Amino acid sequence: MEQALRNMLLFMAKNRTANNLAKKYGLRFGAHRFVAGMSIPDAMSFTKSLNKDGLAVTLDHLGESVFTKEEAAESTNYCLRTLDTIKDEGVNSRLSVKLTQLGLDIDKEFCLDNVRQIAAKAHSYNNFVRIDMEDYDHNEVTLDIFNKVHAEFPESIGLVIQSYLYKSEADVKTLGQHGVSLRMVKGAYKEPASVAFPEKKDVDDNLVKLMQNHLLSGCFTAMATHDEAIIETMKQFIAQHSIPKEQYEFQMLYGIRTQLQLQLVQQGYPVRVYVPFGNDWYAYFMRRLAERPANVGFVLRSMVNS
């Protein structure tokens, strides 16, 4: 039953009509739990609050439904303005972007140019941009674009790797040889068993293995998980191998396991919160529900009480 609900939510995440309605009516039906407002000022307000609690931030301007060069250029400019505002406000925040948001499905070279602009801006501010990994169909082209930009701005750009893909172990090894900063996640897209582990335990085990391997390579490793068992395993591994704090951080999503985030900070661990914002929130929200279908109950209560 739960898997069927998860599959339905992931299917709904790709519905263009529903996405357009979501843009029109704003953060309804519980989305405000996971999305920190619609605008850059909203994002700054949440970032400052999290910073006060000792949490670093990565801002994620939501946007996947990009179908024209004009829309991609607008998204690129929005990312550039976000970096400007981070600098002007002096907050502790980085930036995350999706390549489809920057025109990947329209024109690869056009997208590459947009990523270069963002990486150059981040470099000029001594900041950092993380390229998110999307579904499997975009995996190799994302790696290709990332590698080209990383060669130009190695200290200013990093990548996300998904542990549910069989190919990720080889990718992590190759990227580690080039000193790439990686954010390790389980993966939130529906993929066939031909390319991804179908069983949760295998995904979890692979996540731990990938994080440990990357830490041992000496590269920066962002451990993105809300799973307390995995977190405890990694805390023990870090202690056993005397991994310095400068080489890792735990990462969690805004609105999920807030108390655990604060607990880790109080224990002295570096923690970063991914803070999504913007009006193109629908697909992101549906994937968060799919990750934990129990949250659907929260949404239904929000609908009744709205």
Residues belonging to the active site: 132, 183
Rg (CA), the chain: 18
CA torsion, ordered 22, 15, 166, 62, to nearest 10 deg: -30
Grouping H, G, I as helix, E, B as strand and the rest as coil, residue 158 is strand
For residue 67, give every residue at least 6 positions away whose Cβ sits within 8 Å of its Cβ, in sequence order, or none.
105, 106
Please state, in angstroms and rounded to a whole number, the distance separating the CA atoms of residues 269 and 247. Answer: 11
Helix (H) or strand (E) holding 289: helix 282-291
Q: How far is CA 13 from CA 93, 132, 286, 289, in A?
A: 27, 17, 5, 10
Pairing of strands 221-224, 182-185: parallel
H helices within 153-244, ranges in order?
168-177, 200-216, 228-240
CA-nearest of 292, 285, 296 to 25 is 285
For residues 69 and 77, the answer to whether their CB atoms sit within 8 Å is no
Q: How far is CA 175 from CA 115, 151, 154, 172, 271, in A?
A: 19, 12, 12, 5, 23
